[in-house]
Amino acid sequence: MGRRRGPPLTGRQKARIVCFFLAAVLIAAVWVGTAHLSAIVSAMAVSRASNVVGRLVSDAVAQEVDSGGIQYDRLITFRTGTDGQVTALESNMTEFSRLQSAVTQDVLDRLERMDDVDLEIPLGSLTGSALLAGRGPAFTVRMQMEGSCSVRFGNRFTQAGINQTMHTILLYVDVSVDILLPGFNTYTDVANAFSVAETVIVGQVPDTYTYFDSGNTMEDDAFDFMMNQ
């Protein structure tokens, strides 16, 4: 005996199956489109945030330098021997701490006063096609940025000529930025390094100096030297 077939599907049942299939396809398309959109918006937001924060930090450091707040002779003192040669460099830790606090606070104040940023995203960029990227009408996405800042100093010795050494004081400003976007968040780290003061030392590199780099690693130097004991 052959297998008995069930009753044929009614028109309403067929319509329900078709609607269910179309809904599943639509949900999948929306999910894929949302993930693609989030990736594009996130990449554009990170790029824009890095540029905005980079300019903000540069302005803060430039203001401190232009105001005379960072001067080599206020940061470093030379110790010389009986022959007049520089034998040691001593750092003014109080001045370094003051500058560290001042730059940190200035950057944080600028971050707090920063307005929301509008991202204009061309519709062609959402297709993933290189030919359509940057084309078509644009829609606007507003992003907010919140950040934290850390500041530290470092130093570098480089040869500046015959029996001459250039001592450079470096300022590192690292900003961690949380980027708030409609529906999701992302973040980025913006690292900046500035040469803020320097001088030329005539003679050999001093054998000792007080170490003022607040990080965990030391810059690669052009000469061998010893930590002050």
Q: Which 8-state DSSP code applies to residue 225?
A: -
Band of the pLDDT at 222, cuts 50, 70, 90? very low
Residues 179-198 have pLDDT tens digits of 888 777 888 999 999 988 88
User: Is residue 19 predicted with pLDDT exceeding 80?
Assistant: no
Q: Contact, 96 vs 170, CB < 8 A? A: no
Band of the pLDDT at 10, cuts 50, 70, 90? low
Record the tokens describing residue 112, joined without a space: 């707090």
Q: Counting runs of H as helices and runs of E as strands, what totals does the chain give?
A: 3, 7
Nearest Cα residue to 172 out of 81, 76, 88, 96? 96
User: Is residue 43 predicted with pLDDT exceeding 50?
Assistant: yes
User: Is residue 57 predicted with pLDDT exceeding 90?
Assistant: yes
User: What pLDDT shows up at residue 29?
Assistant: 52
Residue 22 and residue 152: Cα distance in Å, rounded?
Answer: 58
Residue 22, Cα to own-chain centre: how many angstroms?
44
Residues 62-78 have pLDDT tens digits of 998 888 888 888 888 88
Q: Which 8-state DSSP code applies to residue 116?
A: P
- In terms of pTM, does the model score above 0.85? no
User: Is residue 37 predicted with pLDDT exceeding 50?
Assistant: yes
3-class DSSP assignment, residue 86: strand
Residues 136-148 have pLDDT tens digits of 677 777 888 888 9
Residue 103 and residue 67: Cα distance in Å, rounded?
Answer: 12
Band of the pLDDT at 106, cuts 50, 70, 90? very high
